[in-house]
Structure 1
Amino acid sequence: MKKFLALSCAFSTFAFAAQADITVVSWGGAYEKSQVEAYNKPFMAQTGTKITMTSADNPAGPIKSMVESGNVTIDVADLEYTDALRLCDEGLLEPIDPASLPPAPDGTPATEDFLEGAVTECAIASMVFSNVYGFDTTKFSDQKPSTIADFFDLEKFPGKRGMRKTAKANLEMALMADGVAPGDVYATLETPEGLDRAFAMLDKIKGQTVWWEAGAQPPQLLADGEVAMTTAYNGRLFSAVVTEGKPFEVVWDGQVYEYELFGIPKGAPNKDEALEYIKFATGTQRLADQTKWISYGPARKSSLPLVGLFEDGKTEMAPNMPTAEANMKRSLRTSVDFWVDRDVEISERFNTWLTN
């Protein structure tokens, strides 16, 4: 009888845990749809856990106040790399043991299977996204923009520009447009003269720039004719072209790419379930599955050979990834160390520059 009761209690505890609800905050749009299809639906079917998705302009925003007030309502946050490291350093994210992550199908440990830098103390990368720019092909019938320098050339390619309302990526693109080699960008930005040089390039288009904050905005700005070209996350432009038939084209020259990671806020109400979700979502097959819905590259090596067609059943996804060989010719990986050390200082200068 005691054995039966013990088994019953164990089963009840498991069933309760399996039915716990978790809240995942992400970025909305096509990106969120890819997560719902590749991660959430199969995870809910397998575990019985209900997942509530919410979106934010930047999911890192509310975490600090939630943790400090002791009122954490987020279980999993989809974070940019610099935000993940900063929040971890401030003790605002739960640590994640890399040994708990599932190995590759051939048994390769997760720490060896993930791309370099994709596993951190408090967050695990799911994919590689890129800051690129795109343009409306109907605006440029004679000559098309093809380099990052063209984005800053209002005389050769007139029309309003769209840019994210942040210093990050914009300064890097500005220097590459001014002739700085990708490998020298951060060494240049570390100097007062280099920073001035980047802002001088932004000055050239400031009066013709529309500033965006949410990832869904750039394709809409193009579609509405408010801008002729805009920086954007590559997956957003891909979705607009392939799923909506928009006459946009992506320029990969001067792309600035980085990882997107999952983290668990300190004191998350469903920490155990959140960890299980992250382990599931960052497995080899799930990361490959996500590319069926969006053109972001998986953060695991073992996922790459499994990348196939888009959901339309005809578009090959590999050439549309930031990490495709042809797209990496003049690319730059975001320097996390640079932005962790200088984000506050440079962002203050950028915000002051915006208002002058």
Structure 2
Amino acid sequence: MKTKLLTLAVASCLTVTGYAKDERLTIISYGGASKDAQVTAFYKPYEATSGKQIIAGEWNGEMAKLKAMVDTKSVSWDVLDVEDTDLARGCEDGLFETLDYSRLGIKEPLVDGAKGECGVGIFVWSNVLAYNTEKLKEAPTGWKDFWDLKKFPGKRSLRKSARGSLEFALLADGVKPADVYRLLATPAGVKRAFAKLNEIKSSIQWWEAGAQPPQYLIAGDVVMSSAYNGRIHAAKVAGAKLGIVWDGNLYQFDEWAIPKGTKNIDAAYDFISFAMRPEQQKLYTEKMAYGPSNPAAAAMLDKQLASELPTYPDNMKNALQMDVAFWAEHGEALEEQFIAWSSRN
């Protein structure tokens, strides 16, 4: 009798444990204001409708950590918010599941470029030129002004990465957006970009996390910075005296992806399907000023807010789309060169 009761107890525990495991979904994003918006627009509503608990984690694009999980078959992340450039490399390296769009059930057509082999675009965001309106006597108009240390004295900040820094350097040097990647694909173009960066190297305060540019600007540590437009918009809404220059902005997608080997793949698909609904994307954009990848969501937005998004027509003028294929091919070599360059005095 005791043996039978013990067996039943163990079986019951296993059942409960298995159930609990199935009811928890770990979703990793970049944190900060964007994560807060995702909690409001995606996580909490999904928990309410599905009954599943979301474990919300953060990362800064540490692909080596994801690779280690996949290689050792110890994947603890179920859904990942990942930049399209990292997604392209990770997809090629087998770190993500190939998406089955029939399982997502997205009814509306998405903006061009949103559907990828291993990820689907959540939103369009831009790396823009942001500035402290109280620290500058005159507003900058583009990356040429960012490089002008005489007219706009003070520290400025760039993301500590070849991505973005090299493009902005060439734009500041007079290269047209349509010619940037053609030029960067040549040794002469790379040399030109690093030479331009050298002009302001001693005045750069690097940033690595998206929350840092508005913090640096508000504190007066820097007068200008490259920054994610949504972070600057959120700071402005909170009362910060910051401005955005859209000319020469570098835009791209954040995408939902499923790490290869997750044990919760059905729930992962279910969550992504839910999060891609226009109603949920509208809620996200109202909290974080990134352009929804579902045009049906854009049509629901307040006109003033719509004008402050990367997807607004006026903001797309003279904009540069991140070339994912270029960075997939040249990214590793350029990042190594950038790290070596940035570490030298």
**Paired residues for 1:156-175 under 5 Å:** 156-175=151-170
1:209: Cα distance to partner? 0.4
1:102: Cα distance to partner? 2.6
- Conserved in 1, the CA contact under 8 Å of 2:61 and 2:86? no
- Distance (Å, rounded) in 1 between the aligned partners of 2:51 and 2:289: 29
Q: TM-score, normalized by length of structure 1?
A: 0.89
Identity of aligned residues (%): 40
- Distance (Å, rounded) in 2 between the aligned partners of 1:96 and 1:24: 17
Q: 1:336 aligns with which of 314, 319, 324?
A: 324
Q: 2:176 aligns with which of 153, 176, 181?
A: 181
Change (3 A) 1:256 1:285: same
| Corresponding residue of 2:90 | 87
- Distance (Å, rounded) in 2 between the aligned partners of 1:323 and 1:238: 14
1:274: Cα distance to partner? 1.0
| Corresponding residue of 2:234 | 239
1:77: Cα distance to partner? 0.8
- Structure 2 residue 36 is matched with structure 1 residue 41: no
Change (3 A) 1:18 1:62: closer
- Conserved in 1, the CA contact under 8 Å of 2:29 and 2:35? yes
- Distance (Å, rounded) in 2 between the aligned partners of 1:188 and 1:45: 50
Counterpart residue identity of residue 173, structure 2 = D
**Paired residues for 1:220-239 under 5 Å:** 220-239=215-234
Counterpart residue identity of residue 322, structure 1 = P
- Conserved in 1, the CA contact under 8 Å of 2:77 and 2:262? yes
- Conserved in 2, the CA contact under 8 Å of 1:132 and 1:252? yes
RMSD (Å), alpha carbons: 1.8
| Corresponding residue of 1:325 | 313
- Structure 2 residue 217 is matched with structure 1 residue 217: no
Counterpart residue identity of residue 133, structure 1 = L
SS at match of 1:231: strand
- Distance (Å, rounded) in 2 between the aligned partners of 1:280 and 1:154: 48
CA deviations 1:108-140 (Å, max 9, x no partner) are 5xxxx1122211111111100110121111111
- Distance (Å, rounded) in 2 between the aligned partners of 1:70 and 1:52: 20
SS at match of 1:168: helix
- Conserved in 2, the CA contact under 8 Å of 1:27 and 1:59? no
Figure out how many residues of one structure are paired with residues of the other and give that number.
Answer: 329
- Distance (Å, rounded) in 2 between the aligned partners of 1:84 and 1:336: 9
Change (3 A) 1:31 1:59: farther
Give the 4+ runs in structure 1 shifted more than 4 A: 15-19
1:17: Cα distance to partner? 8.3
- Distance (Å, rounded) in 2 between the aligned partners of 1:221 and 1:90: 36
Q: TM-score, normalized by length of structure 2?
A: 0.91
CA deviations 1:246-298 (Å, max 9, x no partner) are 11111111100000001111111311111111111112221122111011001
| Corresponding residue of 2:272 | 278
- Conserved in 2, the CA contact under 8 Å of 1:136 and 1:248? yes
**Paired residues for 1:1-356 under 5 Å:** 16=19, 20-58=23-61, 60-104=63-107, 108=108, 113-141=109-137, 143-243=138-238, 245-308=239-302, 316-356=304-344
SS at match of 1:154: coil
Counterpart residue identity of residue 346, structure 1 = L
Counterpart residue identity of residue 51, structure 1 = I
More displaced stretch, 153-162 vs 15-24: 15-24
- Conserved in 2, the CA contact under 8 Å of 1:18 and 1:47? no
SS at match of 1:54: strand
Change (3 A) 1:301 1:338: same
Counterpart residue identity of residue 233, structure 2 = F
- Distance (Å, rounded) in 2 between the aligned partners of 1:132 and 1:278: 28
Counterpart residue identity of residue 131, structure 1 = N
SS at match of 1:210: coil
More displaced stretch, 113-122 vs 54-63: 54-63
1:165: Cα distance to partner? 0.5
Counterpart residue identity of residue 156, structure 2 = R
1:60: Cα distance to partner? 3.6
Change (3 A) 1:60 1:26: farther
- Conserved in 1, the CA contact under 8 Å of 2:291 and 2:309? yes
In structure 2, the gaps of 5 or more residues are 1-14
